[in-house]
Structure 1
Amino acid sequence: MTVFCIGLSHHTANVATREQFAGSATAESIVREAGCPEALLLTTCNRVEVYGVSHKRISTDEIARCLTKTPIRDPHYYAPPFYRYEAEKCVQHLFRVASGLDSMVVGESEILGQAKKAYELARKSGAAGPYLHRLFQRAFRVAKQVRTHTDIARGAVSVGSVAVDLAQRIFGRLSDCKVLVLGAGEMSERTARALISRGVTDLRVTNRSMDRACELARAVGGRSIPFETWETQCREIDIFITSTTSETPLLTTEKLAPLLRDRLDHPLFIIDIAVPRDVDPSVNEMEGVYLYDIDSIRSVAEQSLELRRQQVVAAEAIIAEHVTDFVDSLSRGLNDAARKTEHPLPGENSLRASEL
């Protein structure tokens, strides 16, 4: 059995490319379509990754086709943005991802919760079996140790709070700004809390589920508004932050143009941290509108990394130790099983080469 990871992230693909592969597949569909005995799909605003276990080699193209609804005829289309890790390299990559070292905002904690949620979905559906169970449980342990034994998270910020940093650069004081947050998921909640912590007092929250919008508004000290009124809010708000799971743009130039006529040279700052994007990129060409998507946040995030360079080194050392121990423990387990069943494994180092 070989464990592998095939995916693309902010390191290899821009948001326009990533959104083509986000939201179309499930772990169960990958098991079914790619013939992979075990699979787990990890999708965030910055990455789409498939972790799998299989006796046969599953090609990158096979996984890429499972991830997109749009058929691509060019056989070389998938190669450039996708990366592939197998065996020990896959283990190392997952441990780095879960610990926040591979994130756009190094040290952020959101990715660990997202990985746990992806694991639970795959486990409950039956797509994740014993191999991925052991791998991901160890990854969660590693992430916890990195957080408790290093200062990697000190001064670290979430994607949401980086977005708020960007807003503060534009407006200076945020206390006088009217803000609308569209979406009530984890990313929206973190962003809303970051806004309140920076002095925002007029925070409006909306979501397709009004109950969830009310819940989030109460939790952060904002107020909920009906979902059907969010577009008209653009007549008066200063900052619009959106993070939904919509597969098509919610805000376009056609929808926004009539609303801007009432703004009287009042700029509108939009931060779109959704993947696929909630706001059509052409909106950025409109007079008085400043649109930033998830890729635009990269430069702000990279500045915060400089403050934690030494902690990254310490975290990498912890991960390296766990990778070696995990691979060795699996190898010992397989050898023990072979002795009990009188079926010896083919070679002392077979785990590192092909059995992981």
Structure 2
Amino acid sequence: MLICLTASHKNAGFDLLERLSATADDAGRRMVAGHEAVQGAVVVATCNRFEAYLDLDAPEGDSPVDAVHGAIRSVGEVSGLEADELRTTFGFAHGNAVAAHLFAVASGLESVVVGEGEIAGQVRRSLERARSEGTTTPELERLFQRASQTSRKVKNRTGIGAEGRSLVRLSLELAESRITDWAQTKVLLVGTGRYAGASLAALRDRGVVDVSVHSPSGRGAKFAASHELPAVPGESFARAVAEADVIVACTLAEVFVVDRALIAAGREQLALDRAPVRTLDGAIVPVADRRQLIIDLGLPRNVDPGVVEVTGVELLDLETIKIHAPMEEFAATDAARDLVQRAARNFGDVAEELDLAPTVVALRKHVFDVLDAEIERSRAHDDDGRIESALRHMAGVLLHTPMVRSREHARAGEQRAFIDAVEALFGVTATDASSSVSGSSSAAGSSSAPDSSSASGTSSVSDSRAV
């Protein structure tokens, strides 16, 4: 059974999302270890959302409430938040609604800026992280791979995101009213991650030529070299902050990288040097009278909100960006949502068909039927049982590779290839496993196939108080 717990900009404040995001790396493992029914977990944590996609070992019709509450308790333990607060915050989806929601998220339809391009890569990396942690399952693999396929289809077939809209570009659009001439603007980029590259590209598109970079983690020199920028070392960071007209902060740091004390220290250095600086409109003024714009794209926040108390400093953070996010382009969005809904229905329709367990059982039944017939035929000549022993050993050896391959295909979300191969080679289909045979129970256990009950259910994302 697939379950989704979601907290996003639509139902949670950025303070809570910060707390969840900061501890996301440990959440998946903790949820899997925290309740026996939670077989797998993939956590999607971005600047706008924290979502947990769970694969529960629960028969169709059973209530998932206990497992869901266990998962929420695990998230609370990791993040230091009360489980009761999380229960009243998290949205909840199950069955087909899980696929519909993830496909919409991966396609940028649930982002602050509808159609933003970064989210598809973040969803993909979430699956990769779950793989490395050993918390994914075949059904979660299939779900996330279909999400990536759907997001590409939405991008290629609709106008969503055609202009490369993203939080980065929207933040710079909002900064336009404060910038007289981008070509004369001195920019300091703080961070070297995925948003740093996007920020640099967007800045250069606007004609910015004076950009330097600083990395709190020490990776600034490498990023600077690859992008032909000057790198700012740690001992020069405060001065660089004070000299910049615009500061774009986009690191994964869990502490503030820019605060009032840093700005004050940098301005003091400039004042001691009697170095006049330009304002955003190009005028030369004393350090104390200048204006600076800080754009904080980090989650957790990279910039202490208190910087606005420093004379001349303006802060543009995620909450402000959310308020100014443009309305959806209705025609493109409607077409995108139609593609998402069709993909989600198809995901549910084929879930049972692509469950490998029946095919694995059918293959084992076929092999054991042949084995039993051969043992019976040789019984008259098998006084000491050696022939039967040899035949059973050979059957086990022959089945070993198909069983291993079934698990590999399930983990890769390629169940259809295995099912088709078994039918083509042996003429065996899942319906051939209807009768009980020797070894069939062990076949189901060895297939690592997901519970097909994920195909059931049509609920939408709802308030978690329903569970």
TM-score when scaled to structure 2? 0.69
Q: Verify: 1:94 aligned to 2:102, yes or no.
A: yes
Matching residue's letter, 2:223: L
Q: How far apart are residue 170 of structure 1 and its match? A: 1.2
Match of 2:232 in 1: 225
**Matching residue within 280, 301, 307 for 1:277:** 301
Match of 2:14 in 1: 15
Match of 1:24 in 2: 23
* Counterpart Cα distance in 1 of 2:310 and 2:207: 28
* Counterpart Cα distance in 2 of 1:106 and 1:242: 22
* Counterpart Cα distance in 1 of 2:213 and 2:291: 20
Q: How far apart are residue 335 of structure 1 and its match? A: 9.9
Q: Residues 64 and 12 from structure 1, CA distance in 2 versus in 1: closer, same or farther, beyond 3 angstroms? A: farther
Q: How far apart are residue 101 of structure 1 and its match? A: 0.7
Q: How far apart are residue 221 of structure 1 and its match? A: 4.2
Which stretch shifts more, 266-275 or 291-300?
291-300
For residues 76-103 of structure 1, the C-alpha deviation after alignment (integer angstroms, 9 at most, x for no partner) is 3223431111111111000001111111
Q: How far apart are residue 216 of structure 1 and its match? A: 3.1
Which stretch shifts more, 119-128 or 247-256?
247-256
Q: Residues 168 and 68 from structure 1, CA distance in 2 versus in 1: closer, same or farther, beyond 3 angstroms? A: farther
Superposition pairs of residues 60-79 of structure 1, within 5 angstroms: 60=69, 62-63=71-72, 65-66=74-75, 69=78, 71-72=80-81, 76-79=84-87
Match of 1:243 in 2: 250
- Aligned residue for 2:51, secondary structure, equals strand
Matching residue's letter, 1:342: S
Match of 2:34 in 1: 33
Please, what is the CA RMSD of the aligned residues? 2.5
Q: Residues 282 and 55 from structure 1, CA distance in 2 versus in 1: closer, same or farther, beyond 3 angstroms? A: same
Which structure: greater helix fraction? Answer: 2
Match of 1:107 in 2: 115
| Contact 2:182 2:206 survives alignment (8 Å) | yes
Matching residue's letter, 2:175: A
Which stretch shifts more, 327-336 or 126-135?
327-336
Match of 2:56 in 1: 54
- Aligned residue for 2:20, secondary structure, equals coil
| Contact 2:108 2:116 survives alignment (8 Å) | yes
Q: How far apart are residue 175 of structure 1 and its match? A: 1.3
**Matching residue within 287, 310, 323 for 1:286:** 310
**Structure 1 residue runs of 4+, over 6 Å off?**
none
- Aligned residue for 1:85, secondary structure, equals strand
Matching residue's letter, 1:243: C
| Contact 1:18 1:47 survives alignment (8 Å) | yes
| Contact 2:259 2:306 survives alignment (8 Å) | yes
- Aligned residue for 1:189, secondary structure, equals helix
Q: Verify: 1:312 aligned to 2:312, yes or no.
A: no
**Matching residue within 327, 330, 333 for 2:351:** 330
TM-score when scaled to structure 1? 0.89
Query: Unmatched 5+ residue regions in structure 2?
Result: 59-63, 272-286, 359-429, 437-451, 459-467
- Aligned residue for 1:17, secondary structure, equals helix
Aligned positions, number = 345
For residues 65-120 of structure 1, the C-alpha deviation after alignment (integer angstroms, 9 at most, x for no partner) is 425545445x5322343111111111100000111111111111111111111111
For residues 248-276 of structure 1, the C-alpha deviation after alignment (integer angstroms, 9 at most, x for no partner) is 22223233334345423111211111111
* Counterpart Cα distance in 1 of 2:23 and 2:453: 38
Q: How far apart are residue 47 of structure 1 and its match? A: 0.9
Match of 1:264 in 2: 288
Which stretch shifts more, 22-31 or 188-197?
22-31
- Aligned residue for 1:19, secondary structure, equals helix
* Counterpart Cα distance in 1 of 2:457 and 2:98: 12
* Counterpart Cα distance in 2 of 1:68 and 1:121: 20
- Aligned residue for 2:7, secondary structure, equals strand
Percent of matched pairs sharing the same residue: 28
Q: Residues 206 and 329 from structure 1, CA distance in 2 versus in 1: closer, same or farther, beyond 3 angstroms? A: same
Match of 1:148 in 2: 156
Q: Verify: 1:120 aligned to 2:128, yes or no.
A: yes
Q: Residues 69 and 39 from structure 1, CA distance in 2 versus in 1: closer, same or farther, beyond 3 angstroms? A: closer
Q: Residues 51 and 237 from structure 1, CA distance in 2 versus in 1: closer, same or farther, beyond 3 angstroms? A: same
Match of 1:85 in 2: 93
Matching residue's letter, 2:71: E
